[in-house]
């Protein structure tokens, strides 16, 4: 009877040690069932912060010139910086670095002002209805919090984002 616990312990240790060598970024996963041995591509572990939404993701709010195409309103950008800090946007977003949410460096060259305004004002709707916002939710795994900004406040934050992208 003493050999059964030793065999179970040896099997457990062998399984544990064998799993230590596997990499989480392996490109395939085994989908074995008794009597078969096929491999299927694994879903990507995580896309990079610069990869953005899936190719082909088209948004009705992101058609047209990028936000950075218009000059920055310096007075609004100053107020937007205060809102960005006071409303807690800095908790999840940085410029040139990933915090919790997307890195906002270059966002004004990638998105229209209309798309950014919709994302700021209605993030819970955007993640359900907008393919770009949905792809960002899938990538970052954390929904953007609705900070209850007014449309005018959102425009000020966008001016700040444009200023930070200069």
Report the predicted TM-score, pTM, of the whole model to 2 decimal places.
Answer: 0.68
Model confidence at 135, in pLDDT bands (50, 70, 90)? very high
Cα–Cα distance between 73 and 158 in angstroms, integer? 10
Is residue 149 within 8 A of residue 83, CB to CB? The reply is yes
Cα–Cα distance between 78 and 163 in angstroms, integer? 9
Confidence (pLDDT) at 80? 98
Residue that is written with structure tokens 């900070």 in the block = 147
Per-residue pLDDT, averaged over 19-33, amounts to 36
Per-residue pLDDT, averaged over 121-139, amounts to 97
User: Does the residue 113 lie in any domain?
Assistant: yes
Residue that is written with structure tokens 């992101």 in the block = 62
3-class secondary-structure state, position 29: strand
Cα–Cα distance between 131 and 116 in angstroms, integer? 14
pLDDT tens for each residue of 47-83 = 333 445 656 678 999 999 999 999 999 999 999 999 9
User: Does the residue 87 lie in any domain?
Assistant: yes
User: Does the residue 83 lie in any domain?
Assistant: yes
User: Does the residue 40 lie in any domain?
Assistant: no
Q: Kindly report the CATH number assigned to the domain that includes residue 126.
A: 1.10.760.10
101: left (phi over 0), alpha (psi -120 to 50) or beta: beta
Name the residue among 57, 54, 60, 61 with its Cα closest to residue 131: 57
User: Does the residue 80 lie in any domain?
Assistant: yes
- Number of folded domains that form the chain: 1
- Domain of 115, in residue numbers: 67-164
Cα–Cα distance between 59 and 76 in angstroms, integer? 26
3-class secondary-structure state, position 116: helix
Confidence (pLDDT) at 71? 98
User: Does 10 have pLDDT greater than 70?
Assistant: no
């Amino acid at each position: 009877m003493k050999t059964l616990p030793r065999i179970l312990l040896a099997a457990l240790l062998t399984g544990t040690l064998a799993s230590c060598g596997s990499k989480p970024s392996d490109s395939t996963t085994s989908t074995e069932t008794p009597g078969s041995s096929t491999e299927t591509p694994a879903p990507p572990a995580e896309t990079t912060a610069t990869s953005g939404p899936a190719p082909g993701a088209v948004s009705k709010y992101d058609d047209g010139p990028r936000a950075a195409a218009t000059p920055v309103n310096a007075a609004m950008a100053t107020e937007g910086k205060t809102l960005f800090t006071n409303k807690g946007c800095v908790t999840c977003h940085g410029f040139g670095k990933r915090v919790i949410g997307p890195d906002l460096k270059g966002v004004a060259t990638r998105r229209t002002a209309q798309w950014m305004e919709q994302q700021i004002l209605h993030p819970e709707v955007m993640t359900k209805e907008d393919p770009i916002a949905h792809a960002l939710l899938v990538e970052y795994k954390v929904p953007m919090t609705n900070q209850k900004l007014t449309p005018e406040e959102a425009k000020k934050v966008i001016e700040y984002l444009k200023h930070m992208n200069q």
